[in-house]
Structure 1
Amino acid sequence: MRVGELIRRVQLGEDSTLELKEVTVRDSGKVIEPHADGLSDELAAMANASGGLLVLGVNDKTKAVSGIPLKHLDRVEDWLTSICTDRIKPPLEVVTRHLELPGADGQPQPVILAEVPRSLWVHESANGYFRRVGHAERKLPPDALARLFQQRSQARLIRFEEQEVPECRFEDLDALLLRRFLKPEQGDSTEQLTRLHLLRETSTGVFPTVAGVLLCALDPSRWLRNAEVIAVAHSGLANNPDEQIDAREIKGPLDRQIMDAFHFVQRNMRTAARKALGRVDYPQYQLNAVFEAIVNAVAHRDYSLHSQRIRLFMFQDRLEIHSPGALPNTLSLESMTRLSVPRNEVIASLFARDYPVEDPQLGKSYLMDRRGFGVELILRESEQLSGRRPLYETIGDLELCLTIFAAPTPE
């Protein structure tokens, strides 16, 4: 927003997308007013509604620009950031800018402008759940809160992966990653990506969707917190930091996460060998089954669970893959081998069509199989190698854990 436009908005006063706050700071740099809890309610209320702007350093009643002492400007910004991180759940990401607006005497006064996005999630602040109505926040009664959760969850008619990410722009997506989805003979690129549900048109413009960010942004976790894989390898049998031999925080577009996680397992699994009649290798895991398991974890995880990541643990005797989210839709542990019900239909469809796999040892043409035989392959191939059937478990309806047991080392 341009400074001239902001000045005019300040002069008109608060509305449903503008909040003004005068700031009082002690000489030590401690912020006295506004109170941190109250400000957290204001910020969360905006995020739970349509988003908006907060201007620190302006009196909301007189609309006079009192400013923030220049020497305390960074301290006030740190204070604001800590409110968004520590007093709002899930943490709220805002964009801050330092500006100068004319004070009562016409002299420029430093202020902080914070842009609050319309959030994908429902945020709880210090005093509960609020939503912006007019120029004030209103506490959400149970029925309205339930509707808001429904609107911003997978129960919504528009699936979570098809929702727009308002703080992301088309220009934030990588041109090379977008190219795989574009066909020269099929017209305008924006229209093509909208048909694929990688972009979504709203009343305020065209924005990347959750699927668009996950597949076409170089770092999706910039907008979708924890959209990544944590991989850790241990030399022993337990999750013991003293026995950790390798660890990686795997980020990037989803296909890169899959390949990096797969190579992590390749690098850290042990392969015994015999040379009596020529070399014979005895790997711990069937690589095609491991690859299928990683693809499934990345493609089917619940990306609306902002606080969880895919976790991959390697131990001496097993491999564990923890994927956020309970089983989607009507699936059960018993029906997984017979039914294919993807949680993220856009991602699954594109994985099965636009992501070829060139490694012959994996025995597949694309990242996903349209026939839905992935779970059956994981169970069959792994059991043939190790003699033990892999184990699927749901943990507290928040996580699906797959354990693949390592093949025993030959005598």
Structure 2
Amino acid sequence: MLDLPLKIFISSVQKEFAAERTALKEYLRGDPLMRRFFECFLFEDEPAADQRADQCYLDEVDRCDIYLGLFGKEYGWEDVDGISPTHHEFNSASEKGKNRLIYVKGADDSVRHPKMRALIDNAASNLIRRRFNSAEELVAAVYASLVRFLEELELLRFGPFDATFCRNATIDDLDEERISRFLGLARRGRSFPLPENTKPHDVLVHLNLLDKDRPTNAAILLFGKQPQRFLITSEVKCAHFHGYEVEKPIPSYQVYKGTVFELVDQAKDFVLSKIDLWVGTRAESTQVPTKYEIPQEVIAEAIVNAVVHRDYTSKASVQVMLFKDRLEVWNPGTLPPTLTLEKLRGPHASLPHNPLIAEPMYLTKYIERMGTGIGDMIRRCRKAGLPEPEITIDGGFWVLTIRRKKSGSETQVTGQVTGQVTGQVTGQVTGQVRQLLSVAQGDMSRKEMMTALSLSSRDNFEKLYLRPALVAGFLELTIPGKPKSRLQKYRMTSKGKELLQSLDQKRM
């Protein structure tokens, strides 16, 4: 594997190339693409050192990835063997198998030094050389050669990000269990045509997630064992602030990693664990009626849009920030050229930024097609008595803001604060535990409780809700002797009932 940036050795310190060398140096160090992949060595930039100049040249040739030779009229200073430094450098690069790019100034070879003509002929017999007449022509020719070089190394892509193979990743970096789980969800959710026993490799082929049998970026993000090992900024950062602005210390801050499915589930559950949950009575149904101050479908849609449609070439991450009066979701990237902020609010074509990521998310019902997401969010917010979501473009981010609403006629269980409970039940009780107890009825499985709370991430549920409630003695296992039994359920203890009664009395 090549280390970046790749080193380019630019030959010749002859006076006839002073302008060209300066132009090359400024271009390679100034162009955003070139400086990302290359750094150049020019002898005149080296500090004084107790070392022979010719040996310094050869040492740098040995360390370089690309030898860039500039051949002109003059042959240059000759050593005792009658060989110039430029000729030594070319020979050394050839012997060591370096990538060689040769540029010859001028078309009239008759005016050149005989040894320079011989060097040019030698180079021409082994590789393609380009001619130039000015610094501008040289820069253009070098640019074309370096772009081709990057394409050959597959370091430069022209296709969509999600369709490009993930550098350094192999099939072994994909989780077959996650692929199989997806297959089951997709068959149940959208009648995915492949049978349940389809091999993981065949699923990837069907979804166009392999490039020459190598996993694409989309494959790693969807089914990778450790996606952030290859795509560092694909994580999601979640923060909760008690006030109206970003201020330190941050009361609650989480950086979530994992597949795009896990990122969406974890970020959504983070928000739901911090906002208010209103709980109705069981007068009309055995199921406890609940609703969050922001509809959980709106929260999920906002986060899914950010994760699926973000610009993954950006060095920024998706940010989910909950304030006292609003929820903000920051998505690195911008709108497609054919869409405007106004068009987003009405019917519009679906233009996924990462179509190979969007497709599996659609198949598992995380997203819908036809560009209905924003419209659905607007309708749900209106129905919940909330203002329409606000959409802005800010410094390379697509920002979605959802305003919060306080108060309601139902019983409110806050997820924002930790409070003291009076009476016989004392101690710190988190908002998540209160939410869990508020929906607990009879014997309930883990899945039933998660469904009642509209939660998706099992890990988050166990860490923030279930485990604290068990440790505090508010819930108990129905099969205590077999804690991992598939038939295991949970019920509220007398201590938990006393807590709920105490909370109800405080609200009256």
- Bucket of the pairwise TM-score, normalised by the shorter protein: 0.5 to 0.7
Structure 2 residue 416 is the aligned partner of structure 1 residue 406: no
Cα distance, 1:377 vs structure 2:
1.1
Specify which of 334, 345, 352 is matched with residue 326 of structure 1: 334
- Tell me the residue number matched to 1:338: 347
CA pair 191-382 structure 1, distance change in 2 beyond 3 A: same
Structure 2 residue 280 is the aligned partner of structure 1 residue 315: no
Q: How far apart, in 2, do the equivalents of 1:405 and 1:193 lie? A: 40
* Paired amino acid for 1:313: M
The answer to whether the Cα contact below 8 Å between 2:272 and 2:292 also exists between their aligned partners in 1 is no
The answer to whether the Cα contact below 8 Å between 1:153 and 1:304 also exists between their aligned partners in 2 is no
Runs (4 or more) in structure 1 with deviation over 6 Å come to: 17-20, 44-47, 136-140, 145-148, 150-155, 185-188, 277-280
With normalisation by structure 1, the TM-score equals: 0.58
**Map 1:6-405 → 2, pairs under 5 A:** 48=37, 61=58, 134-135=99-100, 141=140, 144=144, 156=158, 158-180=159-181, 183=194, 190=201, 192-201=203-212, 206-242=213-249, 244-271=250-277, 283-305=292-314, 307-336=315-344, 337-339=346-348, 340-353=350-363, 355=364, 366-396=365-395, 398-405=396-403
**Cα deviation per residue 1:39-88 (whole Å; 9 max; x = unaligned)?**
x99xx979849xxxxxxxxx99489x9xxxxxxxxxxxxxxxxxxxxxxx
CA pair 146-331 structure 1, distance change in 2 beyond 3 A: farther
Aligned partner of residue 248 in structure 1, secondary structure: strand
Q: How far apart, in 1, do the equivalents of 2:155 and 2:392 lie? A: 24
* Paired amino acid for 1:249: V
Cα distance, 1:175 vs structure 2:
1.4
Q: How far apart, in 2, do the equivalents of 1:154 and 1:325 lie? A: 20
The answer to whether the Cα contact below 8 Å between 2:179 and 2:200 also exists between their aligned partners in 1 is no
Contiguous gaps of at least 5 residues in structure 2: 10-28, 39-55, 63-96, 104-137, 184-193, 410-508
Say which structure is richer in helix. Answer: 2
Say which structure is richer in strand. Answer: 1
Cα distance, 1:320 vs structure 2:
0.2
CA pair 274-184 structure 1, distance change in 2 beyond 3 A: closer
Q: How far apart, in 2, do the equivalents of 1:408 and 1:161 lie? A: 41
* Paired amino acid for 1:346: L
- Tell me the residue number matched to 2:94: none
**Cα deviation per residue 1:157-180 (whole Å; 9 max; x = unaligned)?**
x21110011211111111112224
Aligned partner of residue 347 in structure 2, secondary structure: coil
Contiguous gaps of at least 5 residues in structure 1: 2-16, 21-39, 50-58, 66-131, 356-365
* Paired amino acid for 2:242: S
Cα distance, 1:269 vs structure 2:
0.7
Cα distance, 1:294 vs structure 2:
1.1
What percent of counterpart residues are identical? 25
Aligned partner of residue 327 in structure 1, secondary structure: coil
Cα distance, 1:338 vs structure 2:
1.4
CA pair 216-140 structure 1, distance change in 2 beyond 3 A: farther
Q: Larger relative CO (CA 8 A, sep 6+): 1 or 2?
A: 1
Aligned partner of residue 394 in structure 1, secondary structure: strand
Q: How far apart, in 1, do the equivalents of 2:145 and 2:376 lie? A: 42
CA pair 147-135 structure 1, distance change in 2 beyond 3 A: closer
Q: What is the alpha-carbon root mean square deviation over aligned residues?
A: 4.4
The answer to whether the Cα contact below 8 Å between 1:283 and 1:407 also exists between their aligned partners in 2 is no
